[in-house]
Amino acid sequence: MHNGKTYIVTGAASGIGAETCRVLRADGARVIGIDRHEAEDVDEMYLVDLSDKDAVVKLVADLPNDTDGLANIAGVPPTAPADVVLRVNLVGLRALTEGLVDKLADGASIVNLASLAGNGWQTGLPQVKRALALDFDSDISEFCEVEDLDSSGRSYFLGKEALLVWTFQNRWTWRDRGIRINAVSPGPVDTPILGDFAATLGKRFEENMQKLERAGTAEDIAPAVGFLLSDQSKWIRGTNLAVDGGMSAHFLSAQHGF
């Protein structure tokens, strides 16, 4: 499915990013990894802090042309400072993606790792629109203060809501070149940051976990990312693929009384 392809994967050193690299390489792809830490299962590695504008600009210039896809998996948890969360999970992700589009091969695929945490984007749309107006030249710290994002991990939820909306908005942006964009939204996944979500959500996290038979694993999520990167998903555009053990279906059922 990926034989002869070259993909860029952010967050390549651990969790879902590391497993995505493994899956892609096992299926014949060449993988370029991006992370703050060294990754093992990659063919080429760039050590980059995606919260840093200058680092992202340099990364875009350094990355090769004609790659077949970009998997935006790097992210920080809700326990991180709110401005860091938005810089990495939203602003840096968008800057990297928009900077790379002209260097991607025709027919390439962009996959954003969103989250079940982004499902409430409809109710928070005014705030989501304000978040989408941010870039590296914005005063992100002031935005977080004005929006009260340091409380209750709201910065993480807002970042994922905005990422989903941005994915929907760009469903056809690069259609003339056959470049598509989609999202994957995991539910609770047993990675090194699962405890951060437990600490942030408290009782709500425990109640949600009781509804699932188990937490997800990186092995559950990476194949979905791989599918959306592959040529088998060429007519899937602007879609959010929930890989959450049925949790989003549960929330929708409860919301609508069925």
Angstrom CA distances, 181 to 166, 168, 194, 229, stand at 10, 8, 26, 9
Quick one: which of 53, 222, 15 has its CA closest to 134?
A: 53
Which candidate in 46, 121, 156, 174 is catalytic?
A: 156
Can you tell me the distance from the alpha carbon of 246 to that of 32, in angstroms, rounded to the nearest whole number? 32
Can you tell me the distance from the alpha carbon of 169 to that of 166, in angstroms, rounded to the nearest whole number? 5
Q: Count helices and strands (H / E) in the chain.
A: 11, 7
Can you tell me the distance from the alpha carbon of 115 to that of 120, in angstroms, rounded to the nearest whole number? 11
156 is catalytic: yes
Q: Collapsing DSSP states into helix, strand and coil, what is residue 244?
A: coil
Active site residues: 156
